[in-house]
Structure 1
Amino acid sequence: MISSTRYRAIAEINRQTDLSQQIAKLQESVSTGKSVTKSSDNPDAMQRITEIRQTQADQVVWTANTNMGASISSAADTQLGSIEDMLNQAKELLLSGRNDTTSTSDRTAIAAQLRAIVANLNAASTTSDPTGAPLFPTATPLSIPVSDTLSLPATAQRDQVFGNVTTASGVQTLQQILNDAATAVEGNAATRATDIQTSLDAIDAGSAHITQIRSDQGVRGARFDAAKDDLDTSGETLSEERNGLESTDLTYALSEFQAKQTALQAAQTLFAQSNKTSLFNLMG
């Protein structure tokens, strides 16, 4: 009789202990707002949560990369706009030097201004991007990872920007075109008009070249913007999924808490009364 009573008591204590643990778990899930914090809570959900956490950590890096790429791309576009302005200025100077009434001193001044623009082009070719690296690198531009499957270049190679201009005189750099223009302005009067026209045509070719380069740069910038939008959309989707897996259903949790709390209190009361009766029986 005593042995049977003892076993029933142990079983009841274990049941009440389990109820207490369930209540504590519910209290934790309500206070933290998370119903899944370890694998034992829900193995399948925890595995997916772990996968989402890793992807979200990767996306932090990719988002930083897209921001950097967009910043570099914007800096390149701004610099290309400045180069367009330089070429327009050079054309205006050359047109003013085409007039036969322009004095020798004025021609010398125009040539000096054209060569100053060449110096500015040289400076533009070696300028740095927001990270301190060359804005227009001499080697193939670095491709920046923006996802686990996609890497994008943020700018063009230096020779693509400042060289490879097809003119009547052959393939030239922008600097060569403007140096030739300065020489044409100061050149022999007998060939000056022809030489200046050749330089004007070359400057037009250079402007068309930079327009195309800038258009290509716009495409690069748009790709970084699109990658950023994709990351934002994916991030929101992942956050919603993770929240759905982790978050506590407060209505359900509070209902379960109340039910288990009531069950535990009733079990404790019944257990106390049962043990009291058993003790009296033994004493009798």
Structure 2
Amino acid sequence: MDSINRTRPVNAIQRQNDLSQLIARTEESISTGKSFNRPSEAPSSWLELSSISRQSSIESSWTNNIGRARVLAQQAESTLDTISNGVIRTRELMVLANNETLAPQDREIIAIELESLQNQFNQLTQVKDNYGGQLFHSGDPIKMRIDTNVLVAPAPTLQAVAGNIDIGGGATETLDTLMTDLINAVRTGTPAERLVQLDHAKSMTDHFSTLVGGQGILVNRLEEQELRLQESQLNTSERRSALENTDVAAAISQFKSLLVNLEAAQQLYAQTARTSLIQLIG
């Protein structure tokens, strides 16, 4: 007599096994709160999550760079603004010094104030940043990546700040030399020499006005980029949650449906098995 087991529908047994495994995975997803726990359970979702993780890591490094760059850019903006205000005062003093009715002692007072401003400028151009380095360093600008193929220099170099001031006619001069020339012109210069230095004082104000404006634009750019990355990270987090987290209500509904289907499959299998047995012993 043939074995009863050999006559049982193989596909019915397999269906019960599949349903049992699916029920177990659904139960696990409900208890853990994760829609899947192994790549094989959802290959496409796993691949997307891997891509999201890589992008999130990259964007986190950009966000860190932006935070550091913004601190440096704001410190540079504040320092340049202080120098700019001092340069404006320098120009005012040169206008006053060009008044030919001034007594020598009056010009000496102006020269002393200009020397004080010169010392202040030298200190500010050598100031340390909040991380212990030079705020305006010598050499090539230090750049930070804030997006794909986007690099920014949070602060201008020392050369850009105090080394290449355009005084017209294609000539440039350092801030310290310009201040020395102004002081000498006030103390011992001729009216014509003081007039030339007044033009140089205007060149200085234009130079620092441009630098301050550029720093303001950079700070705004960094803030806008940070907001864009924050929005991107929020969207990424929402997408990750949609992929990873279990929709509990839907999972419970599916769990109940699978239990019903398994029960029906078991009943059908039992009925088929009984019929086969009767046929064998009949």
Shorter-chain TM-score: which interval? 0.7 to 0.9
Change over 3 Å in CA distance of 1:37–1:145 after alignment to 2: farther
Q: Which residue of 1 aligns with 2:188?
A: 187
2: distance between equivalents of 1:180 and 1:267?
Answer: 100
Q: Which runs of 5+ in 2 are unaligned?
A: 274-282
Is the CA contact 1:125–1:158 (under 8 Å) kept in the aligned structure 2?
yes
Number of residue pairs matched by the alignment: 276
One-letter amino acid of the structure 1 residue matched with residue 156 of structure 2:
A
Q: Which residue of 2 aligns with 1:58?
A: 58
Q: Which residue of 1 aligns with 2:178?
A: 177
Is the CA contact 2:59–2:229 (under 8 Å) kept in the aligned structure 1?
yes
Q: What does 1:93-242 align with in structure 2 at a 5 Å threshold? A: 93-167=93-167, 170-188=171-189, 191=190, 193-242=191-240
One-letter amino acid of the structure 1 residue matched with residue 204 of structure 2:
G
How far is the alpha carbon of 1:274 from its aligned partner?
11
Q: Which residue of 2 aligns with 1:251?
A: 249
Secondary structure in 1 aligned to 2:40? coil
Q: Deviations over 1:95-124 (max 9, x none)?
A: 333344544444333212211211111111
2: distance between equivalents of 1:132 and 1:2?
Answer: 88
Secondary structure in 2 aligned to 1:89? helix
RMSD value over aligned CA atoms? 3.4
Secondary structure in 2 aligned to 1:146? strand
Is the CA contact 1:118–1:175 (under 8 Å) kept in the aligned structure 2?
yes
Structure 1 runs of 4+ off > 3 angstroms?
5-8, 10-21, 95-106, 261-275
Q: Deviations over 1:201-231 (max 9, x none)?
A: 1111111111122222233323323322332
Name whichever of 20-29 and 119-128 sits farther off. Answer: 20-29
Answer 1 or 2: higher relative contact order, Cα 8 Å, separation at least 6: 2
Change over 3 Å in CA distance of 1:227–1:168 after alignment to 2: closer
Is the CA contact 1:155–1:220 (under 8 Å) kept in the aligned structure 2?
no
Is the CA contact 1:75–1:129 (under 8 Å) kept in the aligned structure 2?
yes
How far is the alpha carbon of 1:69 from its aligned partner?
1.4
One-letter amino acid of the structure 1 residue matched with residue 194 of structure 2:
I
Change over 3 Å in CA distance of 1:194–1:168 after alignment to 2: farther
